[in-house]
Structure 1
């Protein structure tokens, strides 16, 4: 659908999103962990049982760092809504995700969110929106995480008022490293098969887009069947890095960036390749059955040592 000529991008950028809050419990954190494949093939996995069970008498379960990605949806319960910008939600695609973590996520927490529109771009046949969500622990006031979410709205472009396409972003330059996949052999490779029901489990963590569950909606969007959530694929990739590079210590993850390149069908096998680079890891995730790259990005780590 073409965007109405009445849409004013400057008014959209000045739009103030209401502050929101929500609470989660360790049940939510455990359900999320299962949704991104933790303990799927080994119910007592020594690296991952702590995400779903009070292992060795620990008082609280541990929380995967990618759980913070859910805060984007918790902070915008009505979806990616911008005044005056009309689009078909069935044609929305998640393009990129950046997550910065400031402290380990508690297993139970009341969270306050502040959202702003950080970028808006007219690509003629599509619009690109960039949202920033800052999430704070209510009790202490501490900043827990910052999410920057990029979505592509197919059919929502063409709103520029001049011959030069409208483009605005307030993202700091060079904050997210440009990822170039090395040509040398990966430092580590991890293979993990998704379950045929993976998207149905993951959606219980709050992303109820029917593209991931309804066969008819998937066909309208151009897919042969419902596809896996991009953030679920990201969760699989970061789990691989925690296992192979962080030696099971999820608190070493400082920031995560991911670019979603292609869809994944539930039941496919994900192969994540990892290269050490600077203070972090360049990674690439491929679908084994189709030999296609579906995700790439960079994860910055705390305390990456030369012993690796």
Structure 2
């Protein structure tokens, strides 16, 4: 950050003042009460508003200014290639604050609160940090010069706001030490617990091995059961097949038995028919001689008829149905 211009109107000792800062180191010289500190305070007020002033608002206005005269500070600074223009004012009897901020000629914030927030965002340093690093009041520097080496060290710590940090660091160290002791105790307990866990892990490993063996046995048993189940299935299928064959044979037997009765009945009828035939054959055999005698008689009759010597009764006997014998 580089200071370019500073303009003051009715700010403390200055009724009107315009300053330009050149490159390099700038020294502000003057007798006591000339307003050297006022210039630095004006810069701080431009950057951080009323937080940067230790005086009440009514004492910031120049003693020769009227109540209607505004207290104004305009500061132009460079940040790299960018230029910031800051304008702050307090007006009226109540010293109402006003502010606006421009970046490269374009207004980017209006109002004291908005300008404060935007400047902190751009500068990336708070008012407290600014007062501890870039800004030191004259009395602080005088006291620093009067102190010895040890005192200067302590005073610089105080001046830079590092004294509280030192105390805080000591407190942190103590807290860290206590935390380390506590962590040490926790680690000791953890080591003991690790030993216990190791023992449990070993037992668990043994249990796991036993469980694996049981699982292998169970797998083998399951394989055996699968074989038994397959054998049972095949046996059941064979039984069902035999059952079907038995049923077929039973039906065949019933059919054959039914057919056998019919055949038996037919055989009986056939036997009876054959018996009748035998009886007829026997009767035929019995009358065969008679038939043969009859045939001879008929033959003689025919001879006699041809000779004319046949008795009429003999002709009648020769006719079908006539007397034989």
Per the normalisation by structure 2, the TM-score is 0.21
Q: Per chain length, whose mean CA-contact separation is higher, i.e. which structure has more relative contact order (CA < 8 Å, sep 6+)?
A: 1
Q: Higher strand share goes to which structure?
A: 1
Higher radius of gyration, 1 or 2: 2
